[in-house]
Structure 1
Amino acid sequence: MSDVILVAVDGSPLSKRAFERALSDAESTVIALHVIDPTDPGYSAPLDVDVSLEPLHGSTEWYERANELADEIFEELTALADGTGVEVQTETRRGDPARSIVELAEQEDVDAIYVGGHGRTGETNLLLGSVAELVASRASVTVTVVR
């Protein structure tokens, strides 16, 4: 069990599973972090969103929609925490997801990081996913990859 767990959330089923696991393992606090990645139009959105129908990538409308999606994700996740006794904090950042996760973990002095292992692209990233792989290699705390 860990006192404070940081969970990277992107609206995918795997990130929800990572959040649920963190809730069961946390002693006091779970920090849910959603990173809006301005370099990847699809990363900041749930996997079932057709990005071709979304606002122009990088536009004001795109960022507004990305923030709305983050709010929807946080609403669903905080509802899961009701009655658990675990405090849930939410944070949205813009930038590179792996870098943002590691930086927040250091700033908040978390005990562990939980991420979903997507395996989105590339042969070398099939097992963990590029973000999970980078976080696992850069973080100074234990990283749990949830599938």
Structure 2
Amino acid sequence: MSKHILVPMDGAPLSEKALEVALSENDDAEFTVLHVIDPADPGYSYPIDVDVTREPLHGSEAWYDRAEDLADDLFAAAQETADDYDVELETELAVGSPARVIVDYATDHDIDHIIMGSHGRDEESRILLGSVTETVAFRAPVRVTLVR
């Protein structure tokens, strides 16, 4: 029976590294990459640095369209990484509070393991855990591996 591994990705370097770790250390597993559009935090939903004064109005239809387009780009890049391991990824896009969505997804979809970046900032940050990661680590119903 293969494991089902969830890799939440926000476009930060550590989420990309988490995907590489997941793929390299887990033969014969199923992988789902989850990206969450956070309507409460306009910067979180974009996997790139944004200038919120120049982007579409937060919460507008154009903003959601842009967030979905950027998620498609994130999923394409994740699949390119997975291609190196001859793995086909399942991708999921959700809207909501990232930590809550990740925990609920793991609960509702028979996830065996979550592998995620320790925080969404650059790799040189001295912060140990980001707020999303901390919440997932303490509330997830399954094993969580944090990649730094």
TM-score by length of 1: 0.89
- Distance in 1 (alpha carbons) for counterparts of 2:32 and 2:120: 23
CA–CA distance in structure 2, aligned partners of residues 11 and 52 of structure 1: 21
* Number of equivalent positions: 142
Looking at structure 1, the residues matched to 78 and 120 of structure 2 have their Cα atoms a distance apart, in angstroms, of: 23
Q: Which runs of no fewer than 5 residues in structure 1 stay unpaired? A: 121-125
Measured on the aligned residues, the alpha-carbon RMSD in Å equals: 1.7
Q: Which residue of 2 aligns with 1:62?
A: 63
**Structure 1, 103-112 or 46-55: larger mean CA deviation:** 46-55
Equivalent residue letter for 1:130: S
Q: How does the TM-score come out when normalised to structure 2?
A: 0.89
Q: Percent identity?
A: 56
Q: After superposition, where does 1:1-147 map in structure 2 within 5 Å?
A: 3-26=3-26, 27-118=28-119, 126-147=127-148
Q: 3-state DSSP class of the match of 2:5?
A: strand
Bigger fraction of residues in strand: 1
In structure 2, stretches of 5+ residues that fail to align are: 122-126
Residues 119 and 127 of structure 1 are in contact (CA less than 8 Å); yes or no, is this contact kept in structure 2? no
